[in-house]
Structure 1
Amino acid sequence: MSLPSLPAEVRHMILEALVKDGRELASFAVVCREWQAVIERQTFKRIRVTPSRIAQLNDMTRRNRSHVRYLWLCAELERYGCDSCSPTGENNDAPMFNSAADDLLIKTAVQSLFSVLSTWDSSSSLTLDISVYSTSDREHWFNYLTFEPDDGEDDAPSKRGYSHVSRPNQTVPCENGDERHRWEITNESLFKAQAAVQTVFTRILDEEPDDSDDEEMDGLDWWRELPLVPAITRLLLRQETRRRWAPEDLAELLARFPRLCELHFEPWREWDDMLQTYRDEGYMTLLESPSIRRLNRLSLFENFNQHYPDAYWRLDCSLIRPPNPDLGRILSEVGGNLESLSASFMVDADDFFALDEGHPRKRWPNLRRLILTSQLLAPDEDEMRLTDMLRAAARAAAHMPKLETLQIWTGRKGLAALFKYEAATEQGQASTITWKGTWVSLLHDSVIQAWQSVAAERSQLGLRVVYESIGVDEVRSHGDAMLLLELPEVVIRRVSLRQILNEQMHLPLKVRSSHEPSWFLCTHHV
């Protein structure tokens, strides 16, 4: 029996199976017009663009442009050899900035893409995902790196958390046989490891003006000459881009998207505390920009690797990045119009909820989801400070009339903790607060009372309090912590979490002495 003679329901089932299988579908579009309509919609939904193909983008999508929902711009930088990743001799320093050729490639790609997209339908809802990397990055010290597109929104079986992300069950050492690329850092290999890290964390676009040419445009003027792109409504800058965007460049980039409503930004921490201070000053300016204030959804995830500081002197690079109090306060100010806000590691919830004396109480009239990190969630921190912070969070939640969930968490090797509030969503339900962590900690009565007052606004059934525990040895990195704490997907992109988990497999673990907490699970109502 030929395919066209099959009942329509059977043909539809076959087509659905092909689409879900994830295979190349273009060849199936010639089967019949019925299939062509569905397959072209799927084929053109997500497009990978390289600088050399931007010129063909308009022609390639002319008939199916309305189907395009996601564009992944892959800016592949120049390749490099071992002399760059592990320099030898008297000068062991890696460059601080990309090469002039790499910067020209990025500028040309951005300018060409924006020129094309500026002509697209201004009522479209298009996601732009930008990755900047060199394929040589994974050929030397970092052979665990992967460069992948963002997961499709339709690929998620669950919208609640990361339960579908595979978690490696053992640590696998790097198999690179070249002694120059081993992560067992010694005094002799310290400078090579530092240069290797610096090579992949160079700065994008060195905007220092050329004194020899008074009429050369500075970097910010270059951004402002780019056309506006109304079709872009969501921007992804994921952690697989280890090269660093300057915050002032990002502010200008965002300004090119007048309809932008969602930003996912996953930068890496600096490996020098002084540079981190300068970087944070730039982040403050970025957060106060008009483009940030226009957003509906904002996710900031500052990534790190606990092994990389081994390549730096302890006085220069803190093992744990200290959050910037000013960043926390500014984020609290600019978040008033947001529906969803997640900020991890670069700010602390303690600073976000701090009330400035003499200032009116802040309000967040549209906020539905708020997820923050705090270094106070640790067994060796001041318990009273943690109690005060959780009570301050409850006072703030009283000024979030649409709040559905508020979560404060932390995670690194051997440590995971979460405080979570979930508002009652249906009649007959109670609101819930949950404490989940790698050590036993009962919430202070004053914290429960403060959140009971918040819950009373939503439900007459009181407040349910849940305690859960996680084994210390289960948490090998902040990636494991995110899985075990079942954080919502707004914290970090799923592909980024998979890459973090893959990275932890390929770096040697240090010997850790830790106290294994008692396991407990308790639920009670108040």
Structure 2
Amino acid sequence: MVTLRSHTREKARRSTWAFLPPEIRRMILEEISRQRRWSCASTVCKEWHAIVATKNLNRLELNGASAEGLSKIILQRHLVRQIYLNIELPAYTCPQCRGFASSSEHGKLAKDALRKLSKALAAWEPTHHITLELNAYSPNDTDHCFKNHLYGFKHENDGDLLEKQEAWDDQRHGWVKGKQVRLPTTGAIQQLFSTVISGVQGERPQKVPAVKGVVIRRQMRRKIDRLALPKLLKQFPNLESINYEPWRVLFHQPDLLDSSCERCDQMLQDGLPKWPKHVRSVTIFEDFNEQIMEAIRSGIDPTISSTSMQIENGRRTRYGLGEAFAVKSRHLEHLSVSFMIDARDFFTSCKTLSDWPRLRSLVLTTPLMTKGPQHRMSDFLVKAGQVAQKMQRLKSLVIWHCSHDEASAVIFLKNKRSRRNVHGSATLTWRGTRDFDFSEEVVETWQQVVCTCNSHRGYVGQCDSHQLLCRIERVEGEIISHGDAIHHLRLPDGVIDPTSLRQIRQEGILQREARAVEAEPVDGSGEDP
């Protein structure tokens, strides 16, 4: 009988949680912590708390009202890595969705939320390394014209979005049986893209030394005034990385706030030198939407002939802004600017600069990649290579562009050092929907980026230890949106946030299927190459 009891106790012991190997227990807890409504499991025991609480506090999602609660977190501050401040704006009715938003009311809500957050985080030590993501939205943004745009709502991940779209029937907002039969009005666009953070002078915000990264993704349709951006960033004296994805919206009314891309570019150009000096990584992706630009053009009064009222088909870049980013890049380790500047302006202005002691990766765009003839492309790549020779620590350089269903990229990568590196010490790849061949001058120029062993002798060629491998790769996948272009070009990390990329690709499919009549596509850039 004793033997049976002993056997029973031993069997029970083997079936307990404590009997499982630590590695298995950790795998189970890691899986549990990813499930919804399991946050309370952190109170079971210290072992559970160590893993589940870490997951709970790793990313905090706050709104304007709950931002003050950060001050109550004291002992567990070291677990917090990301803070997502999601500012909820008032809902608006159908008549309002055709009019202009109250920027003063929205601005007050955003200002109050940021003030509460800054006050709560001011006491946090610089060692906490917080990444702050900002967003502003109205809970019924999807109820009006822009139903098939993605805003980061949790329900967007539930079910088939295309199947849901087919059931939409809202004639008031231009939707009939899943098709968008009427474009949004300019007023509706302005409602969605209203300014929520302006550059109006006010009280001096508190410094927040714990914030090391700022993220503003494209799902935030509301705008931050370009004058306000450097003031916002100045709150974070230890800021190291910026991921900024503003929207390009070309309004035709000259009296509207931020109605001119040129004016916005000038404000950003003036503000760049004021960004925190510790910033080492900058990623800017200027998003755009063909449907929105088409809607704005269709809303122009045809009787008005003033040039200030014309809508450009695409983006006119500003040389001064490209020059400002070139100067800024000398102090960065990573710079990626897509669509906001032209790579030709960047490299032209680099001729007067001496060296880049920190820069490791660079990503730029130019319409020349999809429109320019081969000889102009070759001349440009030679100039880019000559500048790259002054970037001593450069590991990656990407120049790309997309237009309609075309996409092309030149990708330079230095391979990691290896004793058996049979593929050369660097690669120069052309990847795109159009044909291209590297000229001899292009290859020689980029070979000198890889190796300067014989440059002092006036000799150009490949040495045995530093070789450049050139590749030509054809892209065959379907390109519906600029998100598809990034995907099929297999651009390296650091061009756009992965969540934003997924949203752009999904929106491209949804909006193509929603077109009642096939519209003429809008180009991603307005200038001829």
Interval of TM-score (by shorter of Structure 1 and Structure 2)? 0.7 to 0.9
**Displacement after TM superposition at 1:367 (Å):** 0.7
Counterpart in the other structure of 2:414: 423
Counterpart in the other structure of 1:64: 76
CA contact (8 A) 1:333 1:362 kept: no
Q: Provide the rounded CA distance (Å) in 2 between the counterparts of 1:171 and 1:469.
A: 33
Q: Secondary structure at the match of 2:323?
A: helix
Counterpart in the other structure of 1:81: 93
- For 1:36-63, what per-residue CA distance to the aligned partner results, in whole angstroms no more than 9, with x for missing partners? 112111111110011111232222x233
Of 213, 223, 234, the match for 1:255: 234
Q: Secondary structure at the match of 2:473?
A: strand
Answering whether residue 326 of structure 2 is matched by residue 332 of structure 1, we say yes
CA contact (8 A) 1:173 1:506 kept: yes
Q: Secondary structure at the match of 2:312?
A: coil
Counterpart in the other structure of 1:318: 312
Equivalent pairs: percent with the same residue?
A: 28
CA contact (8 A) 2:325 2:346 kept: yes
Counterpart in the other structure of 2:384: 393
**Displacement after TM superposition at 1:301 (Å):** 0.6
Alignment map for 1:171-250 (pairs within 5 Å)? 175-182=167-174, 189=182, 192-205=184-197, 219-222=200-203, 225-250=204-229
**Displacement after TM superposition at 1:76 (Å):** 0.8
Q: Secondary structure at the match of 2:114?
A: helix
Counterpart in the other structure of 1:39: 52
Of 132, 146, 167, the match for 1:128: 132
Change (3 A) 1:435 1:119: same
Q: Secondary structure at the match of 1:303?
A: coil
CA contact (8 A) 1:412 1:476 kept: no
Q: Secondary structure at the match of 2:229?
A: helix
Q: Provide the rounded CA distance (Å) in 1 between the counterparts of 2:275 and 2:198.
A: 24
List alignment gaps of at least 5 residues for structure 2: 1-14, 253-258, 299-308, 454-463, 522-529
Q: Provide the rounded CA distance (Å) in 1 between the counterparts of 2:363 and 2:291.
A: 26
**Displacement after TM superposition at 1:402 (Å):** 0.9
Counterpart in the other structure of 1:10: 24
Answering whether residue 269 of structure 2 is matched by residue 284 of structure 1, we say yes
Alignment map for 1:260-271 (pairs within 5 Å)? 260-271=239-250
Is 487-496 or 170-179 further displaced after alignment? 170-179
Change (3 A) 1:169 1:387: farther
Change (3 A) 1:259 1:204: same
Q: Secondary structure at the match of 1:342?
A: strand
Q: Provide the rounded CA distance (Å) in 2 between the counterparts of 1:55 and 1:457.
A: 56
Change (3 A) 1:9 1:381: closer
Of 400, 403, 406, the match for 1:409: 400
Which residue identity does 1:2 align to in structure 2? T
Q: Provide the rounded CA distance (Å) in 2 between the counterparts of 1:233 and 1:344.
A: 23
Counterpart in the other structure of 1:485: 489
Counterpart in the other structure of 1:51: 64
Which residue identity does 1:405 align to in structure 2? S
Counterpart in the other structure of 2:305: none
Q: Provide the rounded CA distance (Å) in 2 between the counterparts of 1:377 and 1:22.
A: 45
Of 469, 472, 482, the match for 1:464: 469
Counterpart in the other structure of 1:296: 280
Counterpart in the other structure of 1:351: 345
Q: Secondary structure at the match of 1:343?
A: strand
Change (3 A) 1:311 1:435: same
Answering whether residue 494 of structure 2 is matched by residue 494 of structure 1, we say no
Which residue identity does 1:443 align to in structure 2? F
Q: Secondary structure at the match of 1:220?
A: coil
Q: Secondary structure at the match of 2:224?
A: coil
**Displacement after TM superposition at 1:355 (Å):** 4.2
Q: Provide the rounded CA distance (Å) in 1 between the counterparts of 2:23 and 2:323.
A: 57
Which residue identity does 2:435 align to in structure 1? V
CA contact (8 A) 1:171 1:504 kept: no
Change (3 A) 1:172 1:445: farther
**Displacement after TM superposition at 1:101 (Å):** 2.5
Of 444, 467, 492, the match for 1:449: 444
Q: How many equivalent pairs are there?
A: 466
- For 1:159-179, what per-residue CA distance to the aligned partner results, in whole angstroms no more than 9, with x for missing partners? xxxxxx9xx999996642112
- For 1:3-42, what per-residue CA distance to the aligned partner results, in whole angstroms no more than 9, with x for missing partners? 13434343223223324x4444323223321121121111
**Displacement after TM superposition at 1:398 (Å):** 0.6
**Displacement after TM superposition at 1:104 (Å):** 1.5
**Displacement after TM superposition at 1:129 (Å):** 0.3
Change (3 A) 1:22 1:317: farther
Counterpart in the other structure of 2:479: 475
Q: Provide the rounded CA distance (Å) in 2 between the counterparts of 1:74 and 1:110.
A: 10
**Displacement after TM superposition at 1:149 (Å):** 8.7
Q: Provide the rounded CA distance (Å) in 1 between the counterparts of 2:164 and 2:434.
A: 27
**Displacement after TM superposition at 1:100 (Å):** 2.9
Which residue identity does 1:468 align to in structure 2? E
**Displacement after TM superposition at 1:512 (Å):** 7.0
Change (3 A) 1:98 1:263: farther
List alignment gaps of at least 5 residues for structure 1: 87-93, 151-164, 208-218, 514-526
CA contact (8 A) 2:80 2:128 kept: no
Q: Provide the rounded CA distance (Å) in 2 between the counterparts of 1:178 and 1:288.
A: 48
CA contact (8 A) 1:412 1:475 kept: no
Counterpart in the other structure of 1:437: 432
> Could you tell me the TM-score, scaled by structure 1's length?
0.82
Q: Secondary structure at the match of 2:472?
A: strand
Larger relative CO (CA 8 A, sep 6+): 1 or 2? Answer: 1
Q: Secondary structure at the match of 1:496?
A: helix
Q: Provide the rounded CA distance (Å) in 2 between the counterparts of 1:490 and 1:81.
A: 39
Change (3 A) 1:253 1:247: same
Q: Provide the rounded CA distance (Å) in 2 between the counterparts of 1:247 and 1:512.
A: 31
Q: Provide the rounded CA distance (Å) in 1 between the counterparts of 2:337 and 2:103.
A: 32
CA contact (8 A) 1:172 1:506 kept: no
Change (3 A) 1:468 1:170: farther
**Displacement after TM superposition at 1:147 (Å):** 3.5
Q: Provide the rounded CA distance (Å) in 2 between the counterparts of 1:133 and 1:503.
A: 18
Larger Rg: 2
CA contact (8 A) 2:359 2:394 kept: yes
CA contact (8 A) 2:334 2:362 kept: yes
Q: Provide the rounded CA distance (Å) in 2 between the counterparts of 1:478 and 1:408.
A: 14
Q: Provide the rounded CA distance (Å) in 2 between the counterparts of 1:492 and 1:279.
A: 21
CA contact (8 A) 2:107 2:195 kept: no
CA contact (8 A) 2:60 2:82 kept: yes
CA contact (8 A) 1:174 1:507 kept: no
